[in-house]
Every structure is written in structure tokens, then in C-alpha cells.
Amino acid sequence: MLFPFILFILEFHNIGFTTLLVATSALSSFTVILDIHNNIPFHIISFLFGISILLLVIKISKNTGRTLAKFGRKGNVEKMETNVLVKNGIYKYMRHPMHLGLLFFPISIAFIVASPSFILIISPIEMLFMILMIRVFEEPEATKKFGVEYLKYIEQTPMFCFKIICLKQLLKNVPKNK
């Protein structure tokens, strides 16, 4: 059941099954040549890199969550809900900054466990799946919730932004809403 879905995702992003087989074969050769499974320095560097990415994911999630809490609610609204389209702070530069941070969660875990196949194959597939879920579920839900205002926001603001100004804003500390 899961295998046809993975093939669909791969074909959707023009990767193809043959490419997956070649990548898996190359990965096997790569791990044998470098003997990564017994390479202690690789595991230490990978672990530290993974922890660094995970800390960035947590910081981005905290900052974007605080921005949503500060600007996304008017009136009596449940804690995790918003009823105002937020276009302040990092949301001025990209529509899904929290998702951008969360996209890097699988790769951070892959580096923490130092698994080459997880780093090179599984986590990128998970990341593509997350982007697909944003397109298929999140965007239509936001369009339904905010209507024409969100459609204009889509035209003016990219889904993700990797410009320096965007990344600085993404990592900028947002004070806790009181």
C-alpha cells in the first residue's frame, strides 16, 4: 500500500523509480567504500550537525508560533487557532515559515542517527511529502478560511523564501506574547 504511494510521490516530482534504484545502489557502494557504519568521527560530526539543525527547527517553530499567537487572533479564539491572516514579521516574506522549519525535522533526525540511507533517501522523500501536504491540504484550507485576502497573499508572497533577509527574520527572537 505504501510502495505505490512512494512511487506516485517520486513520479510527481520527476524523480522516477530508476533514479531511486540508482541512488540506493550508489548509497550502498558509498557506505561500503567509506565504511560509514564503523566510522566514529562520521557519527560524532553527524550527531552534532543533526542537533544543530534540530535546535534551529525548534527556534523557528517557537518564533513563528509566537508571531501567530501575537497577530493571528482577535477576540475569544482557542489557543492553537487563528482567525486573522498574519502578514507581519516573517509572514511578510513567506507564507509557511513554520512549515519551512519543520521540513528540516526529518533531516535533523537522520543526521542524529547518522544513517546514510535516512539522510539521502528517506528524509528527502519525507520533505517532499510534507510540501505536497501543504499544497493539498493547508493552502486550500487557508483559502477557504480567509478567502480573497489569502489568494492575494499567495500572489504577493512565496511559500518559502531563502533570501538572507528572510532567514534573518526567521531566526530573529520574537518575544513571548503576554
Q: How confident is the model at residue 3 (pLDDT cuts 50, 70, 90)?
A: very low
Q: pLDDT of 80-90, one tens digit each?
A: 888 999 999 99
Residue 37: pLDDT band by 50, 70, 90 thresholds? low
Contact between residue 50 and residue 112 where contact means Cβ atoms under 8 Å apart: yes
**pLDDT tens digit sequence for 111-137:** 999 988 899 999 999 999 999 999 999
Q: Is the pLDDT of residue 15 over 50?
A: no
Angle between helices 123-133 and 105-113 (to 10 degrees): 170
The contacts found for 115-118 with CB under 8 angstroms, 24 or more apart, are 116/27, 116/30, 116/31, 116/36, 117/24, 117/27, 117/31
* pLDDT over 50 at 8, yes or no: no
- Per-residue cell: 42: 562520521
Distance of alpha carbon 81 from alpha carbon 145, whole angstroms: 12
